[in-house]
Amino acid sequence: MSEIKESISKETVETAKSLETYKYGFTTDIESEKAEKGLTEDTVRAISKKKQEPAFMLEFRLAAFRHWLTMEEPEWPHLEYPPIDYQDITYYSAPKVQPKKESLDEVDPELLATFEKLGIPLSEQKRLSGVAVDAVFDSVSVATTFKKDLLKHGVIFCSFTEALQDYPELVEKYLGSVVPYTDNYFAALNAAVFSDGSFVYIPKDTTCPMELSTYFRINTEGSGQFERTLIVCEDNSYVSYLEGCTAPKFDTNQLHAAVVELVANENAEIKYSTVQNWFAGDPKTGKGGIYNFVTKRGKCAGKKSKISWTQVETGSAITWKYPSCILQGDESVGEFYSVALTNNLQQADTGTKMIHLGKNSKSTIVSKGISAGKSVNSYRGLVSIKKSAEGARNYTQCDSMLIGDQCSANTYPYVDVSNPTAQLEHEASTSKISEDQLFYCNQRGIGTEEAVGLIINGFCGDVFKELPGEFAEEATRLLGLKLENSVG
Amino acid sequence: MAVITMQNRPNKAHKIQPAPTPFELAVLSDKTQMDAQNSAITTIRETGKSRYQQLGFPTRRLEAWKFIDLKALQNTEFLPYPDNLATVNKADLAPYMIGGNTNASRLVFVNGRYVDSLSNTAGIPKSITAISLMLASREMPTELSALENIFDATTDAFAALNAATVEDGVLLSIPQQTVVDKPIQILLVSTGDSSAPRMASPRCLVELGQGAKAELVVECIGLGKTGAVQPTVNNTVIQIAARPEAELRMTLIQEARHEATAYSFTSTEAKLEANSCLEMTTVALRGGIARHNVQAHLLEEGAHCTLNGLNVLNGDTKVHHHTEIHHLAPACTSEQVYKSILEDQSMADFDGTITVARHAQKTDSSQMNRTLLLSEDAKTYTRPQLKIDADDVKCAHGATVGQLEEEQLFYLVSRGLNPEIAQCLLTFGFAEDVINRINLPLVRQYLESRVLENMGQSHNPKSCYASCTKIEKSACEIEG
Amino acid sequence: MLTIQDLQASVNDTSILNGVNLQVNAGEVHAIMGPNGSGKSTLSKVVAGHPAFEVTGGDVLFEGKSLMDLDPNERALAGIFLAFQYPVEVPGVSNADFLRLAYNSKQVHNGQPEIDEDAFSDILKEKAKIVEMDESFINRAVNEGFSGGEKKRNEILQMAVLEPKLAILDETDSGLDIDALKIVSAGVNKLKSKDNAVVVITHYQRLLDYIKPDFVHVLAGGKIIKSGGRELALELEEKGYDWLLGDKAAVGAGSGGQ
């Protein structure tokens, strides 16, 4: 028994050592094409021209840019960071491999190797895994797999750039319909300068035959990443979409300001899962790391539509992110399942908004925050029942776990109700891993580190069970790594 | 290429001060002259004024004031009440006699000033200091200043404003190991005025010596005598210093019957030392726009604080509760239950924060906010917040909004009760659950009758089922 | 007294009762047993008229009249009492107020005069002795902060006060220690008469040592698959349910004329 235990913990330690806290912290030596640093109207025009965009797109960008100039960066989040110099950022960076490849054989082998290292099933050999992948490298989509297979089912899955060329009318119809550029500071910035992203369109009565997935990677130092994802599900359709993110280690902070828009029409369902593992900065000094300011929102436009957000947030120096649902359709359903882990000097202010407009709309929020080290982890969530939302229901549960006595956990729920037939329930609790729990595990022969992993997994179980299989394993492993040596 | 200079995140301290509003101009101009003897009060006013200048008028951009519309207030010139305006007599106060007892200990303030003829201090033990602030300022300025100094840095703009404009109030000091077993009532009555908008700023200082115990009932009542058609502000401050092992049980009732807009601000700040205990219940009833700010500082080990609240609202009454419980020492406990029953177009907003300081290990704290919406136009906002910097703590909060529970209704109905009666019973029970947490039966009964009086006909068990004699009795108390 | 005819019921479109037939006469004690999830509690709630359950077929007659169009309170006034498996906590509403309202509702229904607080208090104290309930509970909120045993005793006390014609005890023995079990059973036995009837729902034969049934029924898959005398309970205690479930299909097919 003790032998096994020893070998397990030895293995864990070895793994941890080999990973050196952030295993994705390598850069790839690929020639890239970068825009000058700084942001003006000319930058915006240049990005649009470079991508040979239709006129409506340029207008959208310019309107967003002009609006952005009138806005102030939000102060309300519970986050501390030095002012961001928006003129010291490269707004466009792309691998110098053009044009987009039809087959993976043509993709720069160096790049492919990068994705291999990340464990992303991009290559043809991994076809059997049955996941279609759009890989976004810095700001540009470099490869999308399974495109043709999907098209047979009428499913469009491509980079945003391609979508603008091939399906401009669809993009024009839905772009900004859920997150208008006036929405917030970072959404406006994204609208002005976003360079690529993924586009998904599921036609009527179609269940997308495979999981769709995007991997984002920031590779160039000093570049910002501003991608935009748009997913539209027509009546009676279904899609499950996965998103993963990594970035190399740099000494400077990098800005990631993405926008994700989802539209679910009648009886459609979108399941959106994220495992976010951006570089969190140096564990001791906090130097470097990603500033992650993301606007994610879905509109349940049709009757009985459903949007489900599942996120595991483990990375970034700063996370500012509230995947939300506008429950417009009657009997529509919004879900938010989240694990947010912060360690060392990380800060997260994350949660969700559920806006109930439709009759008998339902929402569920399950948020698990884990803070360790000297980190600050805040849940911020709004449940708003508008007057029209007869019979709306919400259940919210947000639990925090603190590991060590130098971290903070905050809970800021907002509940606004304007309809008397609504029913809401909100529960929150704070706990630590108790000595009794650890002792119980130890007594049964489980080492402390494993025991912590076990208990954390139990704590997050309600969220992990919402993740697609492969992701659930990755999430479990990731949490274990992130918490290594956090408990004495 | 034109480079745009980006603005960094604006620094709050450098924001331009807005021009003073008519409200500020009126209340901060020294209309009442204090005589030289009242140096202690003068100091309170000066400190208050400078604190207010730092804080500024609360805007709706501040989270704690988000749902309070004070635009009309800002544009109104509220003046202090003139002397001898008061026309309140004993009969006016009859509904506010706890247990119908006219001889109970009672300190009565009308429009912010102590009125001896309406008060009754005969029952208060001699060892207890219970005097008006005016008198205290003259006779015991050192003690008054020392007590004031404990509360020198309020974060509430209206509390600062109270200090800046205070004319009178009460100093209540219970010596160590003294137990007062009968409730002391402090009635803060405002009458309004037909000639001008008026503001009263009573200030209550309560000190409990080591091991002292007392029960207080503080009522902020807008009497709304006919003809008083101008808006009023009742801006009350209550400051509580509890020494080790002291216990204070306090009920704060607020109700406005004015014809014109009545604003009621109460700000209660408590400093709790080792093993001391504050149990406070805030009850908001009909009328106007009210904001109750309660801040409890658990300063030393073993301190406990219970903050309960009950809103029974109708008409277009709007009530805001802002609570802060700061766990600043290890092994302190706190508990909050706030409930609202909302009818008509009424609105209730609960914004409660529990903070746990880094070294405040073994904190045990809970917070619950429940709302019953009984009308289509009623609204509620709830923000139960936790800010936790220590790991070995038990903190939980919860909130529910909705209707009566189906299972409870079925249980009652399955015993033969008519569904309407079951609903009435449960609605009143919803409120009674908060009232039952109050220690003294006398205070509980008094509150029951006050609450019933505020419940709309359709939800009032009294009108639903006359044979429930307990409720009949309450009805008699009201009518008698 | 109670006639259940081919009763079918569902909750959230899941069918739970699939044709229950049962006849209970005055003076009888019936026990309904069965594995978890067989529909025992559903049956009791459907008879009492719980709104969450939808009756999809069949009928329940009480003293010859269908209950289907009666509200839960009307069924209670007709004389049906359900002792809940999980008695509901009702904060803020005192036992005394609640029970007196219920008692007076019955009085009014029966054309009897309502009684005042004092008179009721006497009745309540008298009845409290039946279940050995401390008087202090009278002014406490209904079931709030009661232990499991106290809640169950409170149910029997309510039964004593309301004097129903038909009492359905839904797992009244669960969560009781042996002393509480004796008290509760003794209470039920004291209230039993030739004019009323008791239906006991239970998992364990143990309770039936104290409340002796005239008939024992086994409910499984939403149907009564076997009925017998007291000896059936002992047989179940010994053999479990498997031997019955094994040939459920056969029993089900042949039970049409039960």
Contact call for A424 and B400, based on CB within 8 A: yes
Does the pLDDT value for residue C216 go beyond 50? yes
pLDDT confidence tier of residue B460, bands split at 50, 70 and 90: low
Residue C162: which of B416, B429, B435 has the nearest Cβ? B416
B34-45 mean pLDDT:
76
pLDDT confidence tier of residue B332, bands split at 50, 70 and 90: very high
The answer to whether the beta carbons of residues B158 and B235 sit under 8 Å apart is: yes
Residue A417: which of B8, B379, B387 has the nearest Cβ? B379
pLDDT value at residue A452? 82
pLDDT confidence tier of residue C254, bands split at 50, 70 and 90: very low
Does the pLDDT value for residue C169 go beyond 70? yes
The residue behind tokens 């000190």 is: B207
The domain total for chain C is 1
Q: How far apart are CA A253 and CA A316, in angstroms?
A: 10
pLDDT confidence tier of residue B336, bands split at 50, 70 and 90: very high
For residue B389, the chain A residues in CB contact (below 8 A) are 407-408
Does the pLDDT value for residue B8 go beyond 70? no
Contact call for B408 and C88, based on CB within 8 A: yes
For chain A, give the mean pLDDT.
82
Contact call for B399 and A425, based on CB within 8 A: yes
B84-97 mean pLDDT:
83
Taking alpha carbons only, the member of B69, B27, B103 closest to residue B320 is B69
Does the pLDDT value for residue C250 go beyond 60? no
Q: What is the pLDDT of residues B353-407, one digit of tens each?
A: 999 999 999 999 999 999 999 999 999 999 999 999 998 888 888 899 988 888 9
For residue C116, the chain B residues in CB contact (below 8 A) are 469
Which residue of chain B has the CA closest to A71?
B7
Q: What is the pLDDT of residues B279-322, one digit of tens each?
A: 999 999 988 899 999 999 999 999 999 999 999 999 999 999 99
pLDDT value at residue C251? 41
Chains touching C, CB cut-off 8 Å, 3+ pairs: B
Does the pLDDT value for residue A471 go beyond 80? no
What is the torsional sign of CA A151, A157, A158, A160? Answer: positive
For residue B1, the chain A residues in CB contact (below 8 A) are 36, 38, 40, 42
Q: How far apart are CA C210 and CA C186, in angstroms?
A: 7
Chain C residues in contact with chain B using a Cβ-Cβ cutoff of 8 Å = 48-52, 71-73, 75-77, 81-82, 84, 87-93, 97-102, 104-106, 109, 114, 116-117, 141-142, 158, 162
pLDDT confidence tier of residue A3, bands split at 50, 70 and 90: very low
* Amino acid of residue B325: I
Q: What is the pLDDT of residues A261-272, one digit of tens each?
A: 999 999 999 999
What dihedral angle (degrees, nearest 10) is formed by the CA atoms of A138, A139, A145, A149? 170
Q: What is the pLDDT of residues C2-49, one digit of tens each?
A: 999 999 999 988 999 999 999 999 999 999 998 888 899 999 999 998
Contact call for C72 and B414, based on CB within 8 A: yes
Q: In angstroms, what CA-CA distances link C33 with B135, B156, B369, C204?
A: 78, 64, 42, 8
| Cβ contacts of C228-235, under 8 Å, gap ≥ 24 | C233/C31, C233/C33, C233/C205, C233/C208, C234/C205
For residue B313, the chain A residues in CB contact (below 8 A) are none
CB atoms within 10 A of CB B100: 12
For chain C, give the mean pLDDT.
87
pLDDT value at residue B409? 92
The residue behind tokens 């004097």 is: C163
User: Taking CA C105 as the corner, what is the angle to CA C103 and CA C110, rounded to the nearest 5 degrees?
Assistant: 95
If one compares C58 and A456, the residue with the highest pLDDT of the two is C58
Contact call for A413 and B399, based on CB within 8 A: yes
Q: Which segment, A9-13, A273-277, B178-182, B326-330, is predicted with the most confidence on average?
A: B326-330
pLDDT value at residue B12? 41
pLDDT value at residue B225? 65
pLDDT confidence tier of residue A110, bands split at 50, 70 and 90: low
pLDDT confidence tier of residue B16, bands split at 50, 70 and 90: low
Specify the pairing of strand A306-313 against strand A269-276: parallel
pLDDT value at residue A109? 62
* Amino acid of residue B406: E
With a pLDDT cut of 70, the percent of chain A lying above it is 78
Radius of gyration of chain B (CA): 22
User: What does residue C131 show for φ and ψ, rounded to 5 degrees?
Assistant: -110, 15
Contact call for A417 and B401, based on CB within 8 A: yes
- To the nearest 10 degrees (0 to 180), the angle between helices B406-413 and B419-435 is 120
For residue B402, the chain A residues in CB contact (below 8 A) are 422-424
Contact call for B414 and C48, based on CB within 8 A: yes
Interface mutation vs chain B, best among C73, C118, C142, most B CBs within 10 Å: C73
Per-residue b or e along A387-403, where b marks 16 or more CB atoms closer than 10 Å to that residue's CB = eebbbbbbebbbbbbbb
Half-sphere exposure of C150 (CA within 13 A, CB side): 16
Three-state SS at A241? strand
Does the pLDDT value for residue C61 go beyond 80? yes
pLDDT value at residue C252? 38
For residue A406, the chain B residues in CB contact (below 8 A) are 358
CB atoms within 10 A of CB B209: 18
Residue A429: which of B387, B391, B395 has the nearest Cβ? B395
Provide the β-strand partners of residue B277: B247, B304
Taking alpha carbons only, the member of C160, C131, C130 closest to residue C146 is C131
- To the nearest 10 degrees (0 to 180), the angle between helices B419-435 and C95-109 is 170
Q: What is the pLDDT of residues B147-161, one digit of tens each?
A: 998 887 888 999 999
pLDDT value at residue B329? 96
What is the torsional sign of CA A440, A444, A448, A453? Answer: negative
Which residue of chain C has the CA closest to B406?
C51
pLDDT value at residue B38? 67
Q: How far apart are CA A416 and CA C255, in angstroms?
A: 56
Radius of gyration of chain A (CA): 22
pLDDT value at residue A123? 46
Count, residues in chain C:
258
pLDDT confidence tier of residue A138, bands split at 50, 70 and 90: low
* Amino acid of residue B189: V
Kindly report whether the peptide bond that precedes residue A99 is cis, defined as omega within 30 degrees of 0. yes
Residue B391: which of A404, A415, A428 has the nearest Cβ? A404
Specify the pairing of strand C141-142 against strand C166-170: unpaired
Does the pLDDT value for residue C128 go beyond 70? yes
pLDDT confidence tier of residue A117, bands split at 50, 70 and 90: low
B42-46 mean pLDDT:
89
Provide the β-strand partners of residue C199: C30, C168
Does the pLDDT value for residue A168 go beyond 90? yes
Which residue of chain C has the CA closest to B413?
C73
Contact call for B429 and C117, based on CB within 8 A: no
Residue B385: which of A38, A403, A412 has the nearest Cβ? A412
- For residue B290, the Cα-to-chain-centroid distance in whole angstroms is 9
The residue behind tokens 């031997």 is: C243
pLDDT value at residue A132? 65
Does the pLDDT value for residue A398 go beyond 60? yes
Residue B387: which of A42, A410, A416 has the nearest Cβ? A410
Count, residues in chain B:
480
Q: In angstroms, what CA-CA distances link A22 with A16, A220, A277, A282, B294?
A: 9, 17, 9, 9, 46
pLDDT value at residue C145? 85
For residue A412, the chain B residues in CB contact (below 8 A) are 383, 385
Interface mutation vs chain B, best among A416, A436, A452, A486, most B CBs within 10 Å: A416
Taking alpha carbons only, the member of C209, C157, C224 closest to residue C21 is C224
C161 CA: distance to closest CA in chain B (Å): 10
The answer to whether the beta carbons of residues C90 and C141 sit under 8 Å apart is: yes
Interface mutation vs chain C, best among B415, B451, B465, most C CBs within 10 Å: B415
Q: Which of B5-14, B302-311, C83-92 has the lowest mean pLDDT?
A: B5-14
Q: How far apart are CA B67 and CA B320, in angstroms?
A: 8
Q: Which of C23-32, C132-141, C247-256 has the lowest mean pLDDT?
A: C247-256
pLDDT confidence tier of residue A119, bands split at 50, 70 and 90: low
Q: How far apart are CA A10 and CA A3, in angstroms?
A: 10
B153 CA: distance to closest CA in chain A (Å): 23
Q: What is the pLDDT of residues A14-27, one digit of tens each?
A: 443 444 445 555 55
A3-22 mean pLDDT:
42
pLDDT value at residue B368? 93
Taking alpha carbons only, the member of A35, A373, A359 closest to residue A224 is A35
- To the nearest 10 degrees (0 to 180), the angle between helices A435-443 and A448-464 is 110
If one compares A302 and B29, the residue with the highest pLDDT of the two is A302
Do B and A touch, counting CB pairs below 8 Å (3 needed)?
yes
Q: Which of A230-234, B195-199, B217-221, C164-168 has the lowest mean pLDDT?
A: B195-199
Taking alpha carbons only, the member of C231, C183, C200 closest to residue C85 is C200
Taking alpha carbons only, the member of A170, A193, A186 closest to residue A60 is A193
The contacts of residue A198 (CB under 8 Å, 6+ apart) are A134, A136, A141, A157, A158, A159, A160, A212, A214, A227, A229, A230, A231
If one compares A248 and B353, the residue with the highest pLDDT of the two is B353
pLDDT value at residue A9? 43
Does the pLDDT value for residue A7 go beyond 50? no
The answer to whether the beta carbons of residues A240 and A274 sit under 8 Å apart is: no
Contact call for B401 and A413, based on CB within 8 A: no
Q: Where are the domains of chain A?
A: 1-28+434-488
Do C and A touch, counting CB pairs below 8 Å (3 needed)?
no
DSSP string, B41-63: HHHHHHHHHHHHHHH-SPPTTSG
Chain B residues in contact with chain A using a Cβ-Cβ cutoff of 8 Å = 1-4, 6-10, 12, 63, 358, 361, 371, 373-376, 378-403
Contact call for B401 and A424, based on CB within 8 A: yes
C253 CA: distance to closest CA in chain B (Å): 35
With a pLDDT cut of 90, the percent of chain B lying above it is 52
Which residue of chain C has the CA closest to B431?
C92
Contact call for C93 and B426, based on CB within 8 A: yes
Element (H, E) at A161: helix A160-166
Does the pLDDT value for residue A488 go beyond 70? no
With a pLDDT cut of 70, the percent of chain B lying above it is 88
Contact call for B361 and A403, based on CB within 8 A: no
CATH number, residue C236: 3.40.50.300
pLDDT value at residue A473? 77
Does the pLDDT value for residue A185 go beyond 50? yes
For residue A42, the chain B residues in CB contact (below 8 A) are 1-2
A26 CA: distance to closest CA in chain B (Å): 32
The answer to whether the beta carbons of residues A454 and A487 sit under 8 Å apart is: no
User: Taking CA B266 as the corner, what is the angle to CA B429 and CA B142, rounded to the nearest 5 degrees?
Assistant: 130
pLDDT value at residue A475? 81
- For residue B285, the Cα-to-chain-centroid distance in whole angstroms is 11
pLDDT value at residue A116? 59
C220 CA: distance to closest CA in chain B (Å): 26
Q: Which of A39-43, B427-431, C199-203, C244-248 has the lowest mean pLDDT?
A: C244-248
